[in-house]
Amino acid sequence: MTSVHEAPTAQAAETDDVASLEHLAEVRAPGAALRVRRRRLDPAIIAFVSAQQVLMPRQRLFTLGHGEALEPALDARLDQFLDRRWFGYAAWRADLLGLVALARRLASGPSLRVRIETVASNSCRLFHSDQVTLRMITTYRGPGTEWLPACAVDPRAPSRHDNQHVRDMSRLQRLAPGDVALMKGDRYPGTGAPGLMHRSPLAGPEQPRIVLAIDLD
């Protein structure tokens, strides 16, 4: 079973959208800060994450070295906190494996930092850029990450961790569940500019989000 269905490009709201996951690498182009692949999640993945929302840890962080065999290394980490017997696990794991494998191909550093998180608070509602080189992110449950293009942010104060530097909230964009984004962070070399300004959408205990983030440093 295919774990995701790629949404038609015609649904794209921004020129940041790309035609395939492999094209996320276009974020490396000068002047680019973000590339997005729009997708629709397989119903089996939706069922799995809906059932797991109360069982997944609030946050699980692990590192995958480039010298490790990817599948057994990932399975060893997942087996520490997830039960393979749940319906939809195989589809979710296949999607996660595909994204981690893509991140490994795109990364230049010796390892990947992977974060799987259940977000049930509004602790990250301020627009900010991340202290990373590149970050891949997707939301498996709940609303996706929100971001602003550079023209909507005051360039004189781009790295402040508050919302006073936002000058045009009407330019707000949001990922849908299943969409995959690759964004530049503050440590991306040669740009002389901060990374993409983004924030988490509203969330709460009644409607938690399940988010995957992979740092490609």
pLDDT score for 169: 67
In a domain, 5, yes or no: no
Count how many domains the chain has: 1
Query: From the centroid of its chain, how far is CA 87?
Result: 24
pLDDT score for 145: 93
pLDDT score for 119: 84
In a domain, 31, yes or no: yes
pLDDT score for 106: 94
In a domain, 6, yes or no: no
In a domain, 151, yes or no: yes
Residue 208's contacts (CB-CB under 8 Å, 6 or more residues apart) are: 53, 118, 119, 120, 141, 142
Reading the chain (217 residues) residue by residue, the pLDDT tens digits are: 445 665 543 333 445 999 999 999 999 999 899 999 999 999 999 999 988 876 676 789 999 999 999 999 999 999 998 889 999 999 999 999 999 999 999 998 899 999 999 887 666 668 888 899 999 999 999 999 998 887 777 766 545 556 767 766 668 889 999 999 999 998 999 877 778 888 888 777 777 889 999 999 8
In a domain, 91, yes or no: yes
In a domain, 208, yes or no: yes
> Which DSSP category does 175 fall into?
P
Query: What counts of helices (H) and strands (E) characterise the chain?
Result: 3, 11
In a domain, 23, yes or no: yes
Residue 192's contacts (CB-CB under 8 Å, 6 or more residues apart) are: none
Domain containing residue 171: CATH number? 2.60.120
pLDDT score for 168: 63
Report the distance separating Cα 137 and Cα 211, nearest Å. 7
DSSP E strand boundaries for 42-189: 59-65, 111-119, 134-141, 146-148, 173-174, 180-184
Give the residue ranges of DSSP H helices in the chain: 43-52, 70-78, 89-106
Structural domain for 184, as ranges: 12-215
pLDDT score for 12: 36
pLDDT score for 217: 80
Q: Say whether pTM exceeds 0.75.
A: yes
Cα 64–Cα 65–Cα 70 angle in degrees, nearest 5: 65
In a domain, 7, yes or no: no
pLDDT score for 167: 66
